[in-house]
Amino acid sequence: MTTPTRLLVARHGDAEYPVHGVLTDDGGWLTETGRAQATGLAAALGERGITAVCTSRMERAVQTGAVAASVLAVPARAVDGLQEYAVGDLEGVPYGDPRAQQVFDAWVAGDLDATMPGGESGVQVLERMREALDRIADDHPGETVLVFSHGGVMSMVIPRLSENVRDDLAAARFLPNCVPAEVEVSRERWRVVSWPGSMDKSTV
């Protein structure tokens, strides 16, 4: 039997952005807390035999991956398709504006045709994230790879790709920074081994 590839997919570390409290597609940058989170995660995974670190091209994920790869002494590379969903025309809108949340809630509920104003549809997000993760699995058959992506796309895509969990798994289990979901990928079959998260979003 073919040994499945194990993807440890984590949200990037805690980050800062040029303008606080608004929706943005800016890549941001790691805070000191974020660097400590990345270091702690890598140290905790030291016995897992990780062979590579892959990240989205957004700067907060790239920086998280660089910290973790240094601790693990493995290469890191950025991969197209792992980025957070684009907020499009909602750039600069306060977090409390309901429009982005309404679209995201529609995706989680199964309406993948819903589209961010001036941004992506759920179908587009799912397809590019799946392609990116499948490409990583194909490049590392039978290995264990640490992947840094983003909470929104992880929450929507990973449960939907996996055969053993509900599509809305993340609706009540919010993803913290630098705590990975473990996924087995084998012959295009996806299985969630573990899913982190809190029932209380205020703790994330």
Label the pairing between strands 50-55 and 76-78: parallel
The crossing angle, in degrees rounded to 10, of helices 151-161 and 98-109 is: 10
Structural tokens at position 12: 């990037």
Catalytic residue list contains 84: yes
In the three-class reduction of DSSP (H, G, I as helix; E, B as strand; rest coil), residue 1 is classed as coil
d(CA 158, CA 125): 11
Alpha-helical segments (H) within 140-203: 151-161
The crossing angle, in degrees rounded to 10, of helices 98-109 and 122-139 is: 60
Beta bridge partners of 8: 146, 182
Catalytic residue, chosen from 12, 120, 140, 150, is 12
- Residue owning tokens 């104003």: 117
Assess contact for 163 and 186: CB atoms under 8 A: no
d(CA 30, CA 198): 22
Catalytic residue, chosen from 16, 59, 84, 184, is 84
Q: Which amino acids are annotated catalytic?
A: 12, 84
